[in-house]
């Protein structure tokens, strides 16, 4: 038996409770999972919050254990790539949506959903980075893949005080980029500068409807916000620039024109 946060559907409402779960029930929900992991740590992500509160249709099957990531130690495995005692991390793959996720003391998942942790990284450190750090690094790699160099100009990070934004600021600065952080919390400016931001932009300058084409300003951007913010970022991007868009904190809409792209 182990403890898990269980989401159930009751009268069109999402009800969350901590329950004792039998491992046999975990196996039945695992959808071919061949590795049983003792979960040490998970993180609470925006998508998890939506699932737990029922604010968005994240959960596809019921009941559900939320948690889109976890790090832990293999307890048992029928797959040759993993053996008991191995440290592993899991992110995504529909966890907390279509099959049980990481907000539990144990998880059973297919081996190809796991990544072995290097010996010098603890499970705590892996989840301190978590999905936010993972996403931020994917964004930075995408910009680099598109040829954005450290001498090309300022790189904007929107939603810079959030999880992904904070990591993006730190990673970009560490790699030598001049980072401009956009935030609606000016009281956090000192923290953002400690992470490596060269300057701070007030969120309101980007979050309102703007012109389809604006003065070229950004060599690249990591956008965690969406909506009017992303539209304004595209409208003020330098020729040949790129945006890694990964969030929708302001909204799912994209009220832009094709003008910046042509």
CATH code, 110: 3.90.180.10
pLDDT at 29 over 80: no
13-21/197-202 β-pairing = unpaired
Taking alpha carbons only, the member of 236, 233, 231 closest to residue 257 is 231
Token match 């038996």: residue? 1
Same domain, yes or no: 156 and 183: yes
Judge if 94 and 179 occupy the same domain: no
pLDDT at position 232 is 97
Given 87, 121, 155, the domain boundary residue is: 121
Stretch (H or E) spanning 134: helix 123-145
Pair 248, 135 in one domain: yes
Residues 135 and 187 in one domain: yes
* Average pLDDT across the chain, whole number: 94
Residues 58-65: what's their mean pLDDT? 92
pTM across the whole model: 0.87
Both 117 and 162 in one domain: the answer is no
pLDDT band at 46 (very low <50, low <70, confident <90, very high): confident
Given 71, 96, 121, the domain boundary residue is 121
Whether the Cβ atoms of residue 246 and residue 224 lie closer than 8 Å to each other: yes
Average pLDDT rounded to a whole number, residues 156-178: 97
Same domain, residue pair 166 and 92: no
Percent of the chain with pLDDT over 90: 86
Residues 46 and 102 in one domain: yes
The domain that holds 233 is classified in CATH as 3.40.50.720
Q: What is the band of 203 on the pLDDT scale with cuts at 50, 70, 90?
A: very high
The answer on 183 and 61 residing in a single domain is no
The single-letter DSSP state of residue 232 is H
- Of 98, 121, 144, the position where a domain reaches its end is 121
Are the C-beta atoms of 207 and 169 separated by less than 8 Å?
no
Tell me, yes or no, whether 149 and 59 share the same domain.
no
Could you read off the pLDDT of 144-164 as tens digits, one per residue? 999 999 999 999 999 999 999
Q: Are residues 87 and 178 in the same domain?
A: no
The answer to whether 4 and 19 have CB atoms below 8 angstroms apart is: yes
Residues 96 and 51 sit within 8 Å (Cβ to Cβ):
yes
For residues 36 and 87, membership in a common domain is answered with yes
Give the residue numbers spanning the domain of 144. Answer: 129-261
Do 194 and 159 sit in the same domain of this protein? yes
What domain count does the chain have?
2
Rounded to the nearest 10 degrees, the angle between the axes of helix 163-174 and helix 123-145 is 70
Element holding 34 (H helix, E strand):
none
């Amino acid at each position: 038996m182990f403890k898990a946060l269980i989401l159930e559907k009751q009268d069109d409402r999402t009800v969350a409770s901590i329950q004792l779960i039998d491992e046999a029930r975990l196996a039945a929900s695992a959808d071919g999972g061949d590795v049983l992991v003792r979960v040490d740590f998970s993180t609470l992500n925006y998508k998890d919050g939506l699932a737990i509160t029922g604010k968005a249709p994240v959960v596809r099957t019921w009941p559900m254990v939320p948690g889109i990531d976890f790090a832990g130690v293999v307890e048992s495995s029928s797959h040759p790539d993993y053996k008991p005692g191995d440290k592993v991390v899991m992110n995504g793959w529909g966890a907390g949506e279509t099959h049980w996720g990481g907000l539990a003391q144990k998880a059973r998942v297919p081996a190809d959903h796991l990544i072995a942790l290097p010996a010098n990284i603890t499970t705590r450190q892996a989840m301190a980075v978590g999905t936010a750090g993972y996403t931020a690094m994917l964004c930075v790699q995408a910009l680099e893949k598109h040829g954005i160099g450290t001498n090309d100009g300022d790189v904007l990070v929107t939603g810079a005080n959030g999880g992904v934004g904070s990591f993006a600021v730190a990673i970009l600065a560490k790699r030598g980029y001049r980072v401009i952080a956009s935030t609606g919390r000016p009281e956090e400016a000192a923290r953002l500068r400690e992470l490596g931001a060269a300057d701070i932009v007030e969120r309101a300058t980007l979050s309102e409807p703007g012109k389809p084409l604006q003065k070229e300003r950004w060599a690249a951007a990591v956008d965690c916000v969406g909506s009017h913010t992303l539209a304004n970022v595209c409208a003020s991007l330098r020729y040949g620039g790129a945006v890694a868009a990964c969030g929708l904190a302001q909204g799912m809409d994209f009220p832009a024109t094709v003008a910046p792209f042509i």
